[in-house]
A and B are shown apart, each in its own frame.
Chain A
Amino acid sequence: MTHHHDNQADGISRRHALECMIWAGTGVLWTISAGVPVSLSLLGAAQAAEALATGFTFLQISDSHIGFDKAANPHAIDTLKEAMGKIQALPQKPAFMIHTGDITHLSKAAQFDNAAQIIGGAGFDVHYVPGEHDLIDDGNGQAYLDRYGKGTKGAGWYSFDQNGVHFIGLVNVVNLKAGGLGNLGADQLAWLADDLKAVTASTPIVVFAHIPLWAVYPEWGWGTDDAAQALALLKRFGSVTVLNGHIHQIMQKVEGNVTFHTARSTAFPQPAPGTAASPGPMTVPAGQLRSLLGTSSVTVKQGGQDLAIIDSTLA
């Protein structure tokens, strides 16, 4: 059984951990090491360099919320520009990017246009899935599909293959039910079952969707009602990586063959589960936003090798 943290037997030096935490504010850089997707923040510097030289990398950004201008970050457009600037300045270019939703704040045409200009301006292929903020135009999601729906099914789900990895973009922000959480729905689950039929069990799988596919904190809606059905379909695969956004902070959990990971927002932080009256934008003193975005929730455990997970099942 291969675990992602087998690759860091040498441990993470304090300096390296800090570098990674700073990097975490702009995006999460992923690479494929020995067929298993590994976040570069989990690798020692030497291994990261080797992976970059021999493998391929892709980059996840999330929750850019273009149009957000409230106290938590009056300039969400500027922090997205900064993030893209850092990505463009990487010495080793990622093969492509994924955006795990909430591209815009209010699904307005100008917000989509600004996001496309800033993100697209970097010249990478970008694979999107929508967040709930991207589907609140008058057409209930038509604005998103007009821009990003080409070649997708249903509300915008799809899959593609790159360098031997099978990528699956899922949509869990439509047809939400009273009292419920994120929702994939029967149609999408049927499509997923069919999509996976032709994929061999040894193929690494990367699933990305906006709302976490595990119960991070259901009291704040941070989970997906029918995620278990999707995960059951992924059981036979040796390596499954699930990448989400929505909660504007990094969390990671490993369960059997599945590694779950959430990315930070480029717009504003949200509080850790249960630490505030609501999951709304967290306003920090002026000047601290960027440092908090970069460092707030990533903890390298003393004596352990993996990222600390805030366990959110409160059962």
Chain B
Amino acid sequence: MIRFPSRLLVVSPVAFGLAAILTMISMPLNAADQPMVKIENFAFTPAVLTVKQGTAVTFENDDDIPHLAVANDGSFRSKALDTGDTYAFTFNKVGDYAYFCGLHPHMQGRITVAP
């Protein structure tokens, strides 16, 4: 009698986790036209993103601290994004774009632009 509810407690987070994963998998499909990189908890999410050539990617800062997105090769650089601010960049050239936060350079991400 005691074990049964405790087992439920173990199972339910897994179910929630599965639901969350399923939601995450479905998100890029819905957002294919407007891909977004969220900045939260000092991390770019998703950290790796693949888009089609000519796609605009929007960076949105959800932290209480400003961040900015800077391409390692200098091909783009946002202004400092305060909480809720966004920055969009259109990727017209095929290639791999590594980027980082100009204020917190340990924060890194990559956008792959496919033809």
Contact = CB atoms under 8 A, between A and B. Distances in A.
A221 B82 contact: no
A70 B80 CA distance: 17
B106 A218 contact: yes
Contacts of B64: 70-72, 280-281
Interface string A159-196: 00000000000000000111111000000000000000
A106 B80 contact: yes
Contacts of B58: none
A136 B80 contact: yes
B100 to A, nearest CB: 4
A312 B103 CA distance: 21
Contacts, number: 59
Interface residues of B, number: 24
A308 B103 CA distance: 29
Contact of A280 (B41, B79, B105): B41
Given A136-B80, A279-B42, A179 B106 contact: yes
A310 B47 CA distance: 30
Contacts of B102: 176
A133 interface: yes
A115 B20 CA distance: 44
B108 A179 contact: yes
A278 B41 contact: yes
B104 interface: yes
Given A138-B79, A278-B63, A132 B103 contact: yes
A278 B66 contact: no
Interface in A195-222: 218-221
Interface in B34-79: 41-43, 63-66, 68, 70, 72, 79
Contact of B43 (A132, A136, A179, A278): A278
B106 A180 contact: yes
A179 B68 contact: no
Contact of A221 (B68, B80, B99, B106): B106
Contact of B65 (A107, A138, A280): A280
Contact of A179 (B63, B66, B105): B105
A181 B65 contact: no
Interface of A: 70-72, 105-107, 132-133, 136, 138, 176-181, 218-221, 277-281
25 contacts: A70-B64, A71-B64, A72-B64, A106-B66, A106-B82, A107-B80, A132-B104, A138-B79, A176-B102, A176-B105, A178-B70, A178-B98, A178-B100, A178-B108, A179-B105, A180-B105, A180-B106, A181-B105, A181-B106, A218-B106, A221-B104, A278-B42, A279-B42, A280-B63, A280-B64
Interface of B: 41-43, 63-66, 68, 70, 72, 79-80, 82-83, 98-100, 102-108
List the 7 shortest-distance A-B pairs measured between CB atoms, nearest first.
Answer: A136-B80, A278-B41, A178-B100, A278-B42, A70-B64, A221-B106, A176-B105
